[in-house]
Chains A and B, each alone.
Chain A
Amino acid sequence: MADLRTAGPAGATDQGVAADAGGTRDGRFARVLITTGAAILTVVVVAAVFAPLLSSWGETVIDPASTLAAPGGGHLLGTDGNGMDIWSRVLYAARLDLGIAVAAVALAVVAGTLLGLVAGYRGGWLDDVLMRVVDIFQAFPTFILALAVAALLGNGTLNLVLTIAAVNAPAYARLVRAEVRTLRELPFVDAAVTSGASTAGILWRHLLPNSLTPVRVIAPLNCGWAMLTLAGLSFLGLGVSIPAAEWGAMISLGAADVVGGRWWTSVPPGLALLVCVLGFSLLGEGLQERADAKRR
């Protein structure tokens, strides 16, 4: 009868004692993930900011004497088919890649959170309409949708930000709406209503701060995905166009040369992309882990 399974919940009634049992180990793991991710991203940001100091050639400077030069010599990582220095371009590209990805995710978070807050709190037909629109957006694979939107808006940095924000915002809307739907049933929302708080006040001061926890966890992961989307679009020619330095576009440009054995045209930008996405992933996972450890 009181076998192990049924005896287990006895611990649950014993407040506090078991609460932080596993917490310390998970907490340490989370800290390692967060630190590693943050360190990688710091390196990338430093590279982007100090690109002119770290490279000897400019972003779009052509060295006509050497096209497709192998690494070594005057060019640390060699040159591409146009005679541009790969090392310099990989560094400069971090500016565009990081900038567009972060800006797009920031925009997606703001727009999605606002929609989610209103839909979740108001409910009713507004919620139904907004959520069906979100359904439509989410019915397409993200990248296909991004392709369509990018084709519609056309090239340009701002349009890329808008495109990537548009395909990511629905996820935040849904996430925040779900949080708000749970939160608005809790007594503190009733307390705010009976204290005469306005709807905007309830949304802004009570529901928003309490519904952002999952957003904080998802957003860094999302930056990594946004970067991949951007690189993918550029690779297909719908994103940043040559001569501006962007990792996806660089991979695309060098793809033909790789077949000919000139690996240095595509591998360095590919590695840069990989490291950057890894940084965001570790950070996101770490935040997730820490949120879980706290909840336990």
Chain B
Amino acid sequence: MNYDAIEVRTRRRERLRKGFTYFCLVIWALMVLFPFYWMLLSSLKSYSAYNSEYVPRFFTLSPTLQNYTDAFTAVPLARYFLNTLIFTLATTAIMLLVITLAAFAFARLNFRGKDLVFTFFLALMMIPTELVVITNFVTITDWNLRNTFPGLILPSVTSVFYIYLLRENFAQIPDELYYAAKVDGTSDFKYLLRVMLPISRPTMVTITILKVIECWNSYVWPRLITDDANYFLVSNGIQEIRENGFGRENIPAMMAAVVVISVPLILLFLLFRKKIMAGVSRGGTKG
């Protein structure tokens, strides 16, 4: 056996494979990044420059921020933003309250029928939203809550899955802590606030982040429930801009709006990268 030849061959093959792997990974990275680059680039081109490029150019030498001004003045982008912010914050806050109470009841309190209700909750996890949206639409309409924040918010303030996730987390806290608190005369509610929530903070943060992402991107329900532009969220806003804003062909301004809408979540992601990725792999498909 020629050992040197084997060594050399192995090393060469290894290097080739590595190179090929990196090549493929870079290709996909470009595929992912390119739309982001293109929207940033287009948003910096002036209206006339963009429209005079029959063959699109991959860079611009005269960037302008005019489109961003247009995005905020020609269409009520700031209002969409504010609406989304209110919607996101209110939905997330109410949801956290509701699921914390429920998870606490399931994890710590003893009452008749608990197991039955919990099983029932778990069964509800399998119900797709698309199936219940129809009646919810009718209900909200009947209650005259179309084009209001309560109408937007109320149907999405509970999540069986998050109740389940939090309950599992609560259940891991040793019983001894609870009994110790009982001996000290701590009330259940205080125990929840002072002990369980701080211990479960990582899970709470994960749930919050996932819910914020979901709210920021929600489109279907807001579209059904609002037709007054004063109550549009960013997703509906962008659709509105596309169909009626700016005049059809002002693509640079549209791209500016898209950039503005995308930035908050991307920033949030870059800040909490590890937490978000861990949270998503623990539970959550998009939508």
Judge: A and B partners, yes or no.
no
